[in-house]
Structure 1
Amino acid sequence: MQGPDPSTPGGHAPADGPGPGSAWLDSLAAAAYLADERGCITAVNARAEQLLDRSAADLLGHDAHETLHRNALGQPEPRSECPIRQAVLAGRTAQGGELWFERGDGSVTPVAWLVTGYDDGSRRGTLALFHPLDDTAPGSVQDPLSELERLALFAELTTRLTSTMDIDEVLDRLVRLLVPRLADWAVVDLITETVEVWRRAVVHIEDGELKNRDDLVGPMPAVPQESQLPLSRALRGAASALAGPDTYRGEPDSGIAVEQGRLFAATGIQSAIIGPIRGLRDVLGALTLGRSERSHPFTTADLPLLEEITRRAGLALDNARLYERQRKVSETMQRHLLPQLPRVPEMQMTARYVPAPDASQVGGDWYDAFVLPDGAMVLVIGDVVGHDLDAAADMAQLRSMLRAYAFSQQEPPSKIVEWLDQAAMQLSGSDMATLVLARLTDAGTLGWELTWTNAGHPPPLLITRQGVPRYLTEGHSILLGTGSLEPRPNASLLLPPGATLVLYTDGLIEEPGASLDDGLDRLSRHAAALSHHPLNAFTDELLARARPAANEDDIAILALRTAAWPGGS
């Protein structure tokens, strides 16, 4: 059991941002503490200190159950009977009003409580909110559970919505937090980058599961500036408003009003609140919460709650949209940096590029293939360290220099790579890179001669027409960017008729927690099994089967296949 953090002023949570474990606890209207996955208190707010008459230093680092939870007689509550512990172990949100917390003087105070999990992407644990049951002071909350539920919802919205950068995931988490907790229906309309409105979600609960009415989602009519109906106003950024079937039963003032009338008729929503989802710069869309006739109708008192929900949703969607925009720009840049493959008689060739799943969609993996003036073909596969724009810029620079050397100098691959390494060191400093440079020459009736050098890269894989795999481990030397001036070796062989050559980057074979040999073995086994497939199908299936499940890197593949016999097609 660890003690309090002496570096934390006053014993409160450190002011490290808006997520759980930070000073935002003091802004809550209820007493609260955070506990880690072991149940130890990691943060408390000032209201908790005041209610419990205990300083944060007396609480931080101590087991919450052992320190606080008691029965009505002030005796320790057995862990097996503690409702808070039961909820924590079950990983669910729960509340109650039949629990006592021990105060600093040894007395106990009855509290209404609510616990819910939190996950801010790097930390997981429990948020506990509690309020004295006997609080009748003027201005106190008369319905403490309602207040606790509200605070718990805000905490969950903050942690769950901001811990993903995927727009669809943000929307899925948003509706799951709201239905059926606050509403029978949740409807999300988003404004696209081209200023079109799309209805992205029309969700309700059915048989205990959330169901999306696919027949009601899709593109929406334009938002008219003159319309004063609630959804149109919300999509222009106006304040939240109440709505119901009668709102849209009159003569529609726009196409979007017609769609709203269809929504109310199809869903049976009898009462709704509609509010704008605002980003930092623009209106991103609108959120509609609807209740059926069996639920209490919304009132104007619910509008501030909707505004707070949409504010947090807007922050998450804004971040996700900016990230998605960066991904698209970066991916477009990456695609333009990758070349078109040449057409060579008696040779099939194909390539694939898959960006890293959690990076900015641009990185240092690349492939290249081009025909020299003497008719020989150059093949390249390479990897610059990093998954960012710097890596992509270094990759583009290396590719351009390599092409220039290969076109201007009639030298073996090893000599070209030596020049490339020296030039790159002068231009970009100590950036590391690996690559395989190969020269493929038509040897007439003998087929194709492959000459290559390998600068610290995974070895090319050759699979014969009969499905026998072999790694080309010869011609290997140190990677680029080390400053080494040692000569680099070449290696050569004749490619068998109908053989498949696969050049690839390490994302295809490397997996956290597994050895490189395991990845190489997996790749060769799948390549051998797929050798009879046409080259495009071979490459697609090889990528799908050999790619590690926990892949964290981008992948480039360059594959070619020789004719079934010299001079054949």
Structure 2
Amino acid sequence: MRETTTEQRSLVSAVATRLGSTMDADEAVARLARLLVPAVADWCLVTLVEDDESRAPRRRLRDVGWWHADPERRDLVAAYARARIGALVPGSMLMRAIDSGDVVHVHDAAVEALDRVLAPGPARDLVERLAPTSLTVAPLKSRGRTLGAVTLFNGPHRAPLEPGEVAAVVEVAATAALALDNARLYRRQRDVAATFQRSLLTAPVEPDHMQVVVRYQPAAEAARVGGDWYDAFMQHDGGTMLVIGDVVGHDVEAAALMSQLRSMLRAIAVVTRNSPADVLTLLDAAVRTLRIPALATLVVARVEQTPAERAAGRTRLRWSSAGHPPPVVVDADGTVRALDEDRPDLLLGLDPDRPRVDHETVLDHGATVLLYTDGLVERRDRPLRAGMADLRAALGRHHAHDLDTLCDTLLAELPGGPGEDDVALVAVRLHPQDEPRPPEAGPVVVPPDVPDVPGAPG
């Protein structure tokens, strides 16, 4: 890098390109170490501040990247990286650079300088074996914060960095810091969004005769949330409500609208104890009255049972759809049937005055009901009709699996993969009511104020 500033500019460009192409902070650090060695140093360490505290005594540091030009000495550098932070004493070159935000340069006698800031032990012994003669610590600063530092080491066969080279390292560090900060912000956004998702998509109820399994697979890796949702909860008479929905749109905005619809639907269904069609009608009216700018497809279903049906080992499924892909039933013998309606009702948010209709079917013990969003069956290279055929075929092949395995298998085989569309599933399997609950169904989970058997039809 001594010949011309062209090489310096090339290094800065390479750092911006290689680090900017990943949103994984650890991968970015690994790339940075390999770009700096041997371009400007014989070996290096990259340190990150593990928290956002601005006061130095509360900072936690971690060496997360390292490299050596000599393959035979890389294990020594890795060992030094594991030992260094714990052996540092106050006033070390690393902490001075991070605290001040300025470059710290040791022109010669680097081993002696490091011995003064390392406690006796493995770290100091490793420095003796690595034998650097000079070192430079450049802080990684971005958006007014110091994210960490890069420490460059040169041995006796390489001269210390000259002022022009130090200036180039500062530019490289600034470019790298911006990329690392972007990766850190991305991770924070992803974690916040994942927490938001978990707070919305809660665990379902598990009445005694039913096993309920839910899944959510987001399309947007960055946001980890979208407008798809599932729900399974009980009404006061013991009826179990199943919901699958898809708000038009993606990411956090769609998730926020979804959360409003989900909460209102839950409240309407529990307070009124109405049928699925009535619940959808009231929800549509509420959306208009509250002026919520939401357009959504959804299915609301209710699992219920008369005393005669219970004696006969049968259960009734009543459902209403707002323009959503039809539920699918797999009978115990593997027969697959889609619960298609002659004329699907309108999407939620279009015309609250349009009447909605309930549909019914009777299920025997051993039947499985699957509600899903269109990301499971529709993608750019597969129309909905072909996707429905693929779904029926997959259910026919795998219907004998336990319910968790069945859902995981469908998600592995059918969707277009991350980036295509969100996918939400709610699957219900009816177990015999006159036999013990099977172990794979897990424990019964029902509210304390409702029975754990299906409610009679309203």
| Same structural fold, with TM-score higher than 0.5 when normalized by the shorter chain | yes
Which residue does the alignment assign to 1:421?
A: 284
The answer for the alignment partner of 1:409 in structure 2 is 272
Encode CA deviations 1:504-545: one digit per residue, 9 max, x unaligned: 222333333432334334433333333222222322233233
1:453–1:188 CA distance, 2 compared to 1 (3 A):
same
- Between the aligned partners of 1:567 and 1:477, the Cα distance in structure 2 is 37
In structure 2, the residue corresponding to 1:336 is in which secondary structure? helix
Query: Which letter maps to 1:458?
Result: P
Residue 462 of structure 1 pairs with residue 345 of structure 2:
no
What aligned pairs does 1:231-250 form with structure 2 within 5 A after superposition?
A: 231-243=94-106, 246-247=111-112, 250=115
SS of structure 1 residue aligned to 2:4? helix
Matched letter for residue 229 of structure 2: W
1:200 aligns with 2:64: yes
Shift of 1:557: 1.7
User: In the alignment, is residue 153 of structure 1 matched against residue 18 of structure 2?
Assistant: no
Counterpart of 2:175 in 1: which secondary structure?
helix
- Which digits, 9 at most, give the CA deviation of each residue in 1:364-403, with x for residues without a partner? 2211111111111000011112334332222121112112
Which residue matches 2:243? Answer: 380
Whether the aligned pair in 1 keeps the contact of 2:80 and 2:126 (CA below 8 Å) is yes
Q: Within 5 Å, give how 1:142-541 maps onto structure 2.
A: 146-193=4-51, 195-204=59-68, 221=85, 227-243=90-106, 246-247=111-112, 250-253=115-118, 261=124, 264=127, 271-291=134-154, 295-442=158-305, 443-444=309-310, 445-474=312-341, 476-483=344-351, 485-541=353-409
Q: Residues of 2 paired with 1:499 and 1:411: CA distance? A: 25
Rounded to whole Å, the distance in 1 between the matches of 2:68 and 2:6 is 24
Distance in 2, Cα, partners of 1:524 & 1:183: 60
3-state DSSP class of the match of 1:477? coil
> Taking structure 1 as reference, are residues 344 and 267 closer, same or farther at Cα in structure 2, changes over 3 Å only?
farther
What is the CA distance between 1:301 and its match in structure 2? 4.2
1:320 CA displacement: 2.1
Where 2:250 maps in the other structure, the secondary structure is: coil
Q: 8 Å contact 1:201–1:213 — kept in the other structure? A: no
Identity across matched positions, percent: 36
Gaps of 5+ in 2: 53-58, 438-458
Contact 1:327/1:360 (<8 A) preserved? yes
Contact 1:201–1:212 (CA under 8 A) maintained in structure 2 = no
Aligned-partner residue type, residue 454 of structure 1: S
Residue of structure 1 equivalent to 2:444 = none
Q: Distance in 2 between matches of 1:219 and 1:331?
A: 34
Change (3 A) 1:263 1:248: farther
User: Which of the pair is proportionally richer in helix?
Assistant: 2
Q: Distance in 2 between matches of 1:181 and 1:346?
A: 67
Give the Cα separation in 2 of the matches to 1:523 and 1:265.
64
Give runs of aligned pairs for residues 33-72 of structure 1, distance below 5 A.
none
Q: Give the C-alpha shift of residue 206 in structure 1.
A: 7.1
Task: Decide whether the 8 Å contact of 2:83 with 2:123 is kept in 1.
Answer: no
Is 1:551 the counterpart of 2:414? The answer is no
Measure the CA separation in 2 of the matches of 1:221 and 1:416: 60
> CA 1:404/1:216 → structure 2, altered by over 3 Å: closer, same or farther?
same
Q: Secondary structure at the match of 2:370?
A: strand
Partner of 2:184, secondary structure, is helix
Instruction: Return 5+ residue gaps in structure 1 as ranges.
Output: 1-142
Relative distance call for 1:181 and 1:221 in structure 2 (3 A) is: closer
Give the number of the structure with larger relative contact order, counting CA–CA contacts within 8 Å between residues 6 or more apart. 2
Instruction: Rate the CA distance shift 1:375–1:171 in 2: closer, same or farther, 3 A.
Output: same
Deviations along 1:152-199, one digit per CA (max 9) or x if unpaired, are: 222233344334433234324423433343334342111112642122
Deviations 1:65-87 (A, max 9, x none): xxxxxxxxxxxxxxxxxxxxxxx
Q: 2:16 touches 2:175 (CA, 8 Å); kept in 1?
A: yes
Distance 1:532 1:555 in 2: 22
SS in 2 for 1:200: strand
Sort the Cα spacing of 1:461 and 1:311 in 2 relative to 1 into closer, same or farther, 3 A: same
Aligned length: 422
Alignment TM-score, normalising by the size of structure 2: 0.81
State the alpha-carbon separation in 1 of the partners of residues 77 and 101 from structure 2: 27
